[in-house]
Structure 1
Amino acid sequence: MAAGQPTILATSGGYKQGNRTRVEFNHLMHYAVELSGVTGRSPRVTHLGTASGDQRWWAAEMDQAARIAGFDFSHLNLFTMPNVEDPEAHLMEQDVVWVNGGSVVNLLAVWRAHGLDAILKRVWESGVVLAGVSAGSICWFQGGVTDSFGPDLKPVTNALGFLPYANGVHYDSELRRRPTVHKLVANGTLGEAHCTDDGVGLVYRGTDLAEVVSEAKGKAAYRVTAGAGESVDAIAVEERLEPRFLG
């Protein structure tokens, strides 16, 4: 088992502006590789861009970033058909599976149509590190808050459920995220929610939150739980979780 036990890194980050390219991988992406425990060779990382329709221009940006990082990098595309004959065999050979952002609702529908939901569970249980940003974070949880349906944020409650919590992303940069999470946790639509500011990641060993890490100073993660009160008086309680700065 590559990572020692099933491991997920759920983030609101992972990228930065490049010096000679538009995108480079930031500390959170490199930490996903570190969590895999790979040594003595280039880390094998595959990218799933399903949430944005497997955009080839973005894949090219990721390829450039991967060359700078020294990764043995690949893509698992599902549009217009899977680009590998055996997606499960491909994913099992990786050290890290990184899922990009976009529409988490569309991602879940396409993954289920291709049986990737069950495949990814087996991949996770085998020790391949699962990681990602935004939609690529929410997907591992029971659900979260999404703009997949339009500009008004709505709940998604049928995510993969590998982790028994809800997830909130871009908690500090999109002003409607925090109050929407609070409302949905308070009224019981979402359960306990684990949320990240931009640049912050949550590390899960099995289903336990083991560590909070950050590639940006002054940022944090948050645990949001239902507080006292009934119906319209229901409230949510937010606990700030200080991260370890990755530098």
Structure 2
Amino acid sequence: MIIAIGGGEVSQNETYEIDKFIVKSSKKEKPNFLFIPTASKDAKPYIETINNLYESLGCETDTLYLANVEVNRKEVSQKIENADIIYVGGGSTDYMMKIWRKYSVDKALMRAYKSGKVLAGLSAGSICWFIAGHSDSEFIEDIENPKHKWVKGLGIIPYLHCPHYDEPERTGFDDFYSGQAADAIAIENQVAIVWDDYEMKVIKSNPSKNAYKLSWTDTGLEKEVLY
């Protein structure tokens, strides 16, 4: 199962109902929770926020550090294997995917999906499960004249993706997406899609927000609200 969250401030409990659902989905009394904060370059305050939240929800928490450290590939595989829930944090999707491929984290996460673990994430941690996502990595990395771009994910969920769909910076996504052959899933903040064996449903921590399926047809853009 994958729970892909469009966005929201975790520190302000904006995703709290979704976080509770993630823990419940493990069907474990005290699930082993693994946070992968690669996209934020292992930002300490972020790690503390996530781990404190999930400890309060009854998890045994651990963190997989991959930025600015000497990485032990065996330890990477073991941490992923030991986890019941794997949560991927937000930040630079581009940086994260490069690091994952360098240390075969992408392959380990594919195995984790096939073995039935609960996989989740927000923003970059949502994009990673799709074919590719609308990424603001160039803005995060302070590149001159930054622009949004597609960043390739693991392709488990067979759609293109836009997180933070209700934020002003993402208003250009519909044009950016135009002409693509694959359908796209656009998710607003405080909303998640649950991908379970090719079935998709929507969960929310804010009832007024939505997720959408976008398709490009001969007559132009078609958009439907997902439930």
TM-score, structure 2 normalization:
0.88
How many residue pairs align between the two structures?
221
Q: Aligned partners of 1:60, 1:119: CA distance in 2, in Å?
A: 24
SS at match of 1:82: coil
Amino acid at match of 2:130: F
1:164 aligns with 2:149: no
Q: Aligned partners of 1:17, 1:158: CA distance in 2, in Å?
A: 28
- How many Å apart are 1:209 and its aligned residue? 3.9
Check conservation: 2:7, 2:163, Cα contact below 8 A: no
2:221 to 224, 236, 247: 236
Check conservation: 1:192, 1:225, Cα contact below 8 A: yes
- How many Å apart are 1:83 and its aligned residue? 6.8
Q: What stretches of structure 2 of length at least 5 have no aligned partner?
A: 140-144
1:88 aligns with 2:77: yes
Amino acid at match of 1:175: P
Check conservation: 1:186, 1:227, Cα contact below 8 A: no
Q: Aligned partners of 2:171, 2:224: CA distance in 1, in Å?
A: 12
Q: Please identify the structure whose Cα radius of gyration is greater.
A: 1
- How many Å apart are 1:60 and its aligned residue? 2.1
1:127-161 C-alpha deviation (Å, 9 max, x unpaired): 11110000000011011211101375423242211
- How many Å apart are 1:58 and its aligned residue? 2.0
2:6 to 9, 12, 15: 12
Superposed counterparts of 1:175-194, under 5 Å: 175-180=168-173, 182-188=174-180, 191-194=182-185
Q: What stretches of structure 1 of length at least 5 have no aligned partner?
A: 1-6, 230-234, 243-247
SS at match of 1:131: strand
Q: Aligned partners of 2:203, 2:33: CA distance in 1, in Å?
A: 20
Cross-structure match for 1:245 = none
Superposed counterparts of 1:55-66, under 5 Å: 55-66=43-54
Check conservation: 2:6, 2:126, Cα contact below 8 A: yes
Cross-structure match for 2:209 = 219
SS at match of 1:67: helix
Q: Aligned partners of 1:57, 1:145: CA distance in 2, in Å?
A: 25
2:112 to 120, 123, 128: 123
- How many Å apart are 1:26 and its aligned residue? 0.9
1:138 aligns with 2:130: no
Amino acid at match of 2:179: N
1:11-38 C-alpha deviation (Å, 9 max, x unpaired): 12475446xxxx6961112211222222
Cross-structure match for 1:198 = 189
Check conservation: 1:141, 1:162, Cα contact below 8 A: yes
Superposed counterparts of 1:150-161, under 5 Å: 150=139, 152-161=146-155
Amino acid at match of 2:162: G
Percent of aligned positions that are identical = 28
Output the aligned Cα RMSD: 2.2
TM-score, structure 1 normalization:
0.82
In structure 2, the CA distance between the partners of 1:87 and 1:133, relative to structure 1 (3 Å rule), is same
SS at match of 1:86: helix
Amino acid at match of 1:9: I
Q: Aligned partners of 2:206, 2:44: CA distance in 1, in Å?
A: 29
In structure 2, the CA distance between the partners of 1:53 and 1:205, relative to structure 1 (3 Å rule), is same
1:149-191 C-alpha deviation (Å, 9 max, x unpaired): 137542324221111111111111x2241432x2233222x62
